[in-house]
Chains A and B, each alone.
Chain A
Amino acid sequence: MATRIEVPALREEIWQEVLPSGLSCYVLPKPGFATRYASFSTRYGSCDQTFVDRDGNLRETPAGIAHFLEHKLFEEKDGNVAERFSALGAMSNAYTNYGATSYLFSTTEHFSEALDLLLHFVQRPYFTEENVEKEQGIIAEELRMYLDDPRSVVFQNLLGALYQRHPVRVEIGGTLESIRRIGPDELFLCHRTFYQPGNMVLMVAGDVDPAEVFAMARQAVGGVREPALRRVYPDEPRPVAEEMKRQRMAVGVPLITIGFKDDPAPPEEALRREMIMEILLDVLFGPSSEIHRQLYEEGLIGQQFSSSYFSGDGYAASVLGGPTPDPDHLLARVEALLGETLVRGLDPKDVERSRRRSLGEFVALFNAPEAVAHAYSEYALRGLDLMAVHDLLQEVTADDVGRRLQEQFHTPRRSVSIVEGAG
């Protein structure tokens, strides 16, 4: 049975149906838009390296295997799936992050054919020794590209410094060494384990009929729901692994990222926590904040300075930073200014301002069906409902935000990552 999730104030709705196979399907109708968009995603990301397989055995897999699998699914016995999407006028793509893998397309024509293709190819693995070896060259180049990207390096180094054991500390794509340990058997194992419908979400946005989408999904994704799978995460100690990580690279301007390790919220609280933290970080470090004003006028930051809350299964942290001419001086100033704010506390007016801004941004998000679909599906995989943000934003109080200020920053567990010029 399809149900409707509505935000009347926005005149937006999302239709939902859970199929007998366990697959959760969502449709965001967007009449008047030419683009129709679909993603088929699994709750399987780079962090899911250790798990219990269907026969009850504990399995450990090489770093980067979820991403490797994402690349390889595009290959079929008779060619590359991307070309088949192209022949329908659809653009296909896929991505892997710490907690999910997603396959997607957007098109203006031939939507049903493209959706059918999407639903089928993701369920149809084709791995051979030869095609796996071929992919290693392509993925090695992708990894090298990120090794040369200072923004990627400074962030991944930060995660390595914040976390002692949690696999979020390892690059999503793995390493040049770990990908060489991936073969067809490991890929089949991971596909069998994580690509079961009960672990997956289908998301569609655009000028489509929800009932038709659900009918197609029922047709293409059969089977019965399987028992929930078990992932194994190591116990992450509360202290950070390392307080400072420095690296030299060929950069034009140094980069800094400062991370404050947080205790992850219980799953049902995760959405509310993220929303409150985004407001807190905006009040503290956003373009309208006193700290931002001072750092900017002191020439330590520019427009690219940003902050955000980074969280998922078993990890959470406030992260801020950007390019700066003097990373060590910036760090010292952030410390000092943050200390002053902790003593002074938050001004409720600032929280109200930030709340209004978040509301406007939530409204504007619905201009872009792909962006809504992307965010909605990421949350749905974690059992959360993005549409609830609208009500949560009305309810949040200055006290909620003030409490988090103390919890997160009073006795900080902090790591810093700096990338500087090669000399």
Chain B
Amino acid sequence: MAFIETPLESGASLFLWSTPKFKTTTVRVLLRAPLDQGASAGALVPMVLQRGTRSLPQTILLSRRLDMLFGAELRADVLKFGEEQVTIFHLEVAQSRYLSGEDPLPEAMTLLGDVLTEPPLESGGLRGEWVSQERENLRRRIQGIYSDKAHYAQVRLVEAMCGLEPYAIPRLGRLEDLDRHTGDGLWRHWQETLRRAPLAIYMVGDLESATAEKHAHRLLERIGRREVRPPALATPHAAPASPREIRERQPVAQGKLAIGFTTSLHAWDPGYPALSMMNGIYGGFSHSRLFQEVRERHSLAYYAQSQVDGLKGLLFVHLGIAPENRQAAQDLVLEQLEVLRRGEFRPQEAEDTLKGIATQIEQSEDAPSEAIMTDFELRAAGRPTEPKRRIAALAAVARDEIVAAARGLALDTVYFLDGEGDGDGDAD
């Protein structure tokens, strides 16, 4: 990866990838805060900040200004990152050489700074009308998760698995916290985040480093004096003495089976590539065990896959199945893990997985936002960022390390979203 880091001040850095490869300039400002009871405030603030600035104090004015900058994209959202909540401000503008007109970047950068630091204030807080409107929008976004059954199953699984750990808090926070947010409290929350959050400014585009540094310095000047707290490390997960099983019923045509495991490896462990390989063989690809067995051999599912959260040390399996096939599907999922634990996979499966992950690693350099997020995640975990080194580390994983990673998994919780038909009834 081609990002060059320039430390700007304590807790803030510029990461620049200067390249003519893309037709746009992409800028991301990433702020890391602990995932805690303030999560809904963290989710709400960027929604309010996007509504306007002191110089463009109506949403429609800001939006029209961005249109005139050839559809410059300026948006903000939050991401759940281990047990942190990362606020992302994203700016993307077309490069002037492909347009007839002035370079839109300088003004777009000013607008980004305005959105970050200069919302219109009223009696010392964020504008009350915007706060109440966005609170309702956030309420609907959170309620909307219920409409997306696969996503809902993952949220419910994690809540059941992680109980009181911060990881159980959803990305957008919880409904019950929403009503206490006021313009005043949110503005204080945001100033605290700006002052204390580790901050990264990423830029990708055909930019001189001096120009990029000038933009980054200007942004930090506007943010003002900072005393940065260190990033929060994920708390260890407490696994139950015996696996939990949870079943919920809804009027759905398809059941969702979501299974959570704890892993023995974390993203910062030197042995982590073995877990990536193991996950790839197990459920990361269409050649993987879960897809081949559950879907192709037994026709039980349309999708069957696994994914790892290396920051928390958890592995999740997701399947969409006919409710009456729940037990058969669950047995297959666990059986395939046993196969890996016994080391009964073909060398070809590991080779295909290595090639698949290598392709993903190389492809992440073809999209600015993906390149930024990949670099950000790897640095956070203290892992090498260069594609060649990453692929070499995966290639060096021995067969018995893959087996050990599989043996390091412990079944934690099984969540099943069942239909309301009479079905099996003996699944609990």
Using a CB–CB distance below 8 Å, which chain A residues touch chain B? 9-11, 32-35, 80, 82-83, 86-92, 106-109, 134-142, 144-145, 147-151, 249-253, 255, 287-288, 290, 292-293, 296-297, 299, 302-303, 323, 325, 353-354, 356-361, 363-364, 366-369, 422
Contacts and interface: CB of A to CB of B under 8 A. Distances in A.
A11 B98 contact: yes
B92 A87 contact: no
Contact of B250 (A9, A88, A250): A250
A24 to B, nearest CB: 26
Contacts of B67: 288, 353-354, 356-357
A151 B144 CA distance: 11
Nearest to A81: B286
Given A86-B287, A138-B302, A144-B253, A253 B144 contact: yes
A86 B355 contact: yes
B256 to A, nearest CB: 9
B140 interface: yes
A288 B70 CA distance: 13
Given A89-B356, A141-B320, A288 B143 contact: no
A356 B367 contact: no
15 contacts: A34-B365, A83-B352, A86-B287, A89-B359, A138-B299, A250-B149, A253-B140, A287-B63, A288-B64, A293-B58, A297-B133, A302-B141, A303-B137, A358-B71, A360-B99
Interface of B: 21-24, 58-60, 63-64, 67-72, 92-95, 98-100, 104, 133, 136-137, 140-141, 143-149, 250-254, 285-287, 292, 295-296, 299-303, 320-322, 348, 351-352, 355-356, 358-359, 362-363, 365-368
Contacts of A107: 359
Given A83-B286, A89-B356, A253 B143 contact: yes
A359 B99 contact: yes
Contacts of B321: 141
B147 A135 contact: no
Given A92-B286, A141-B254, A32 B21 contact: yes
Contact of B146 (A108, A142, A251, A353): A251
B92 A299 contact: no
A86 B352 contact: yes
Contacts of A140: 322
B146 A141 contact: no
B123 to A, nearest CB: 21
Contact of A108 (B21, B59, B359): B359
A253 B147 contact: yes
Given A86-B355, A367-B24, A367-B368, A138 B253 contact: no
B147 A150 contact: yes
Given A89-B356, A252-B147, A148 B92 contact: no
A145 B93 CA distance: 37
Contacts of A32: 21
A363 B64 contact: no
A32 B93 CA distance: 21
Given A87-B352, A108-B359, A360-B71, A288 B60 contact: yes
A361 B137 CA distance: 27
Contacts of B60: 288, 290, 292-293
B63 A359 contact: no
B136 to A, nearest CB: 6
A-B pairs, 8 with minimum CB distance: A360-B70, A89-B355, A137-B299, A252-B146, A360-B71, A357-B71, A252-B143, A86-B287
A138 B254 CA distance: 12
Given A138-B295, A250-B146, A359-B71, 6 more contacts: A9-B100, A87-B348, A108-B359, A148-B254, A325-B136, A356-B71
B299 A302 contact: no
A134 B299 CA distance: 6
A33 B366 contact: yes
A51 B147 CA distance: 38
Contacts of B348: 87
A10 B98 contact: yes
Contacts of B95: 363
Contacts of B104: 360
B251 A364 contact: no
Contacts of B92: 364
B96 to A, nearest CB: 10
A80 B292 CA distance: 10
Contacts of B296: 80
A302 B359 contact: no
A401 to B, nearest CB: 15
A64 B306 CA distance: 29
Contact of B286 (A9, A86, A288, A290): A86
Contact of B137 (A35, A86, A302): A302
B63 A86 contact: no
B142 to A, nearest CB: 8
B359 A368 contact: no
A71 to B, nearest CB: 10
Contacts of B356: 86, 89, 91
Contacts of A91: 285-286, 356, 359
A144 B322 contact: yes
B236 to A, nearest CB: 33
Contacts of A92: 286
A417 B148 CA distance: 19
Contacts of A136: 299
Contacts of A303: 137
Nearest to B321: A141
Contacts of A366: 23
A366 B97 CA distance: 14
Contacts of B63: 287-288
Given A142-B302, A148-B149, A87 B355 contact: yes
Contacts of B299: 134-138
Contacts of B21: 32-33
A88 B356 CA distance: 8
B332 to A, nearest CB: 14
B341 to A, nearest CB: 23
